[in-house]
Amino acid sequence: MAHRLRREIRLYLILRGAALRAATQYRGNVLTTMLAGAAYQGSGFAFVWVLLHTFGTVAGWSLGQIAFLYGMRLLSHALWLVTMDGVGLSDVAIREGQLDRMLLRPANPLVQLATNTRSLMPFGDLSMAILVFGIALTVADVDWSPAAVLFLVLAVIGGAQVEASVVVVIAGLSVRILDTWAFRLMMLDAFDTLGSYPLSIFGSGVQRTLTYVLPVAFVAFLPASVVLGRTGQLAVPAWLGYLTPVVGATLFTLAYLFWKRQLRGYQGVGH
């Protein structure tokens, strides 16, 4: 088991490295694509920054605190993008018969799908994530005990797994229904739009929906509320904030099982 896992990880790293080398061949596009990824996320933060420049706080959150929340969400987001970007392109991989080839090779199909990308935009997201989170650390008042740091790291990984599980489930669906582009766009946009802001701006109904139905709150809002000691305004139990690492691992495992099950029914598109 451990041996097989080691082999998959080694194969993953080889394939990811190859994809990266392919992407950096288009020198002129490298910089603009990374800038684009940064601008995409940066323009969202610029909105928050300008808003707080005028108003000081939003729903009791200061600029430093929102930057912390925003940075945490971006770190999770960039982490799944950098590692698994290709999963979001499952439609193309199936339509063009690339998945047929992946199924024949002696490596996990999801590993191959994850590395099947030429985009550098995730690294733009990552650089903006590091920038925003870096600024937040100098401004926000955070408890730096080893336990808190460990929780923060696990929460970022858990948040990445929550988002990745959505993409893996949709990749599983695309095995059956081929065209999932619009559905993926809407789901990822919901995380992008709602994940980075204090959800206490909404009523308790929306907060509960975004916790129990679409787990957006687990990505950053709940763990950040715990770390920043802002659990007073939550419409859901505060201890849920500590569960992000568990929720992430569980959802990702379930998503992976779903994907594997769907793959069994793969019929191809007639290549």
* Residue numbers at the binding site for other proteins (CB under 8 A): 26, 28-29, 31-37, 39-40, 42-43, 46-47, 50-55, 57-59, 121, 179, 181-183, 185-186, 189-190, 193-194, 197, 200-202
Q: How far is the CB of 39 from other proteins (least distance, A)?
A: 5
CB-side exposure of 196: number of CA atoms within 13 Å? 27
Angstrom distance (rounded) from CA 109 to CA 42:
33
Whose CA is closest to 114, among 252, 27, 217, 12?
Answer: 12
Question: How many Å is the Cα radius of gyration of the chain?
Answer: 19
Burial of 241 from C-beta contacts in 10 A (0-12 / 13-18 / 19+): buried
- Least Å distance, CB 166 to other proteins, is 15
Q: How far is the CB of 132 from other proteins (least distance, A)?
A: 15
DSSP 222-239: HHHHHHHT-GGG-SS-GG
- Residue 57 or 204: the one with the smaller Cβ distance to other proteins is 57
- E-strand ranges in 54-137 read 57-58, 61-62
Task: Indicate the residue among 33 and 115 with the shorter CB distance to other proteins.
Answer: 33
Shorter beta-carbon distance to other proteins: residue 89 or 121: 121
Cβ 8 to other proteins, closest distance in Å? 31
Give the nearer residue to other proteins in terms of CB position, either 26 or 212.
26
Residue 141 or 189 having the CB closest to other proteins: 189
For 167-191, b where at least 16 C-beta lie within 10 A, e where not — what string? Answer: bbbbbbbbbeeeebeeebeebbeeb
Which C-beta is closer to other proteins: that of 98 or that of 125?
125
- 62 secondary structure, DSSP code: E
CB of 50 to other proteins, least distance (A): 5
Q: Give the shortest CB-214-to-other proteins separation in angstroms.
A: 11
Element (H, E) at 13: helix 2-23
